[in-house]
Structure 1
């Protein structure tokens, strides 16, 4: 439905000029078609420039967008930038923020108020903000609702773990809370 010459072509040209391959652009078009409805001048270019400045690398910027093109859909002033700043405020090293953003840009798309809540929860759980695991914990909590967390806690309790043991395990390896309830319930999971 878009005007190919005036709407799509300038975006394709922009992505090509930044180093995206034709197959990368095709993937963005097919997996995240809403990107093509966003303004090149008001959304895509400013977002790209923000990420490039933050990541200090054209290659990392391209990798992030290829990994999660949806990052281009978010208003930087409502979610991404305030969430980066929230991590800086609690002392997370820039290198760790960049690493988390590069691997899990979705973690930064939460509403800024919700993101701050998550950061506070992670601090209360005793995570050291200077360590990489605090970023993993933030991603894990961001990736699920409170009800999903509670369901997983209940399933782990059925396997004999106490709530304290679950929190200790989360402190050591936050990824284990990202496993689906079905996998946790599987008898092969706990062997």
Structure 2
């Protein structure tokens, strides 16, 4: 075997270089690859955490908005059976008007389709599938502005009322005794509605 000292300088450099490359591939490169892999996993986790934080913040915001809505306007029933929901809406209207001193009123009933994104969202929210429709009650009566404010507040907080979709107010000059101040009467046309689910008939 040729002794190390007798080898040419170029051969010694070649052997040293080969040894250095061996050390790199056997020890250094796995460490570099491992470090790069850890860094990549860390970046992935960081991205995931940031995304989750954004989603969580969005959910928290939606939860706060829902809580504020429940506090300000009360609960709303999900779309249900048309007959039951219609009867519940009629009973609530009669109860609110009577409790506010309105004994004379005219009520008309009509239906309308639910359209747009609201309809799609509601249809996804209910079980069993079906088509969402609006049962609308148009009510005409007279009262004072203060009474109307109370009626609107009561209806908005009633779960039987999904929405107050129309309100028309006209001033009425009611007669009073000569020399006395006339009562401030207004003529009101109010539209309150509930949302119902029309079940799709299953085909045999």
More strand by share: 2
Structure with greater contact order relative to length (CA < 8 Å, sep ≥ 6): 2
More helix by share: 1
Query: Is the radius of gyration larger for structure 1 or structure 2?
Result: 2
